[in-house]
Amino acid sequence: MTMSFVLRFSKDERTGVRPHVEAPCCLLSIVKRPGVLVLLCGVAALISGSLSVAAAELDQPRPRIRDLGIVIGSYPTGPLNAITDVAGVKVGHQTLIRGEGALKPGEGPVRTGVTVVIPRDDVWHQKVPAGFFVLNGTGEMTGLSWVAESGFLEYPIALTNTLNIPRVANGVMSWMIQRYPEIGITDDTLTPVVAECDDSRLNDSQGRHVSEQDVIAALDGATSGPVQEGTVGAGTGMVSYGFKGGIGTSSRQLSDKEGGYTVGVLVNANHGRRPELLVNGVPVGKLYEQPVQTSEALVPGQSEGSIIIVIATDAPLDSRQLTRLAKRAALGLARTGSTARHGSGDFMLAFSTANIIPHYPKEPTYRSIHLADTHLNPLITATVEATEEAILNALTMATSVTGRDGRTIEALDIVRLTTVLSVSRRD
């Protein structure tokens, strides 16, 4: 009897998408016969054993850090606890997983993708104030010179792997030109913001498998709802603190007295060494007692990994103040154990949706509101907390992945994590 299994995606209240394996009708009919139930279980185990770790774990729900009763900081989260709690912000992913076995440069295995953040609809004509901070510059986020010069952002932000930057930039430009056909003719040109992390520990990086069409699909599919996390989009091949890393997000909501503003953070976590990992102040990395992985056994010339942090807020901040928030995200990164080693690329970009910077204003002046620096402290704290939690969500939501050359990067074991935290609390 020939059996086939289909990977389907259905809605999940928390993540927006819940993958599961769907059995064919012949197997569903067998289930109704108790006499062959044991046989079916054995066949299922055999089939699951032949799947890659990435596929096998897709059906296992992973928790966010708060699902484990771990509360980071003091400010409450927004309804989704995601960057999309900032009204108008959209996130989209395109995930590429195919092939297995030995690396064939240019062919596979493929464990990569692209993630996009759209600050607001029609951001080309209604630009958002923006600022950035580079903690350690062994990496790239394109377009920052124009952000520094202008103080605003006028297109989506794209995250991907290192060697795919040019193709992803092409995808962003093609998407923008489709919507604004006068770009480069009677309108301005554009310099897209594309940020990278190196996923070559799991992925055929030389293949540059993310196409323009993948980028356009991610942008077209971007939504303002729940955000998928972990092994998805740009985070598909990422490793963080010796565990499977990837995409994580979180948000914070200020009280009405403090302005009622929202801060949302999205990260692509591909940084850190296992002994450094801190979870809510507990040295989980040192207490985890896992064998040293290939991802930790770095040699001179090997990357220390990177992290990209995107911060959104609806507070009325200018470019200078957003740069200050971007700097504070580095403190949230440090709270998870990172020391921004030589060889690490740590880039933070912040934007505000509160004001509109017009594209070609007819009048020589335009109005905007501006939060006083003396009222900035709650936003600073919120940024630090949301960054810390977003990184931890990336770790707890990621699934184990087997990639090039049969190399497996295991996900953080949730049972072991909760045991370590429980013992630490008793001590």
User: What positions carry a catalytic annotation?
Assistant: 306, 344, 346
- Identity (one letter) of the amino acid at 135? L
Task: Determine the Cα–Cα distance for residues 357 and 18; give it in Å rounded to an integer.
Answer: 38
Radius of gyration of the CA atoms of the chain, in A = 22
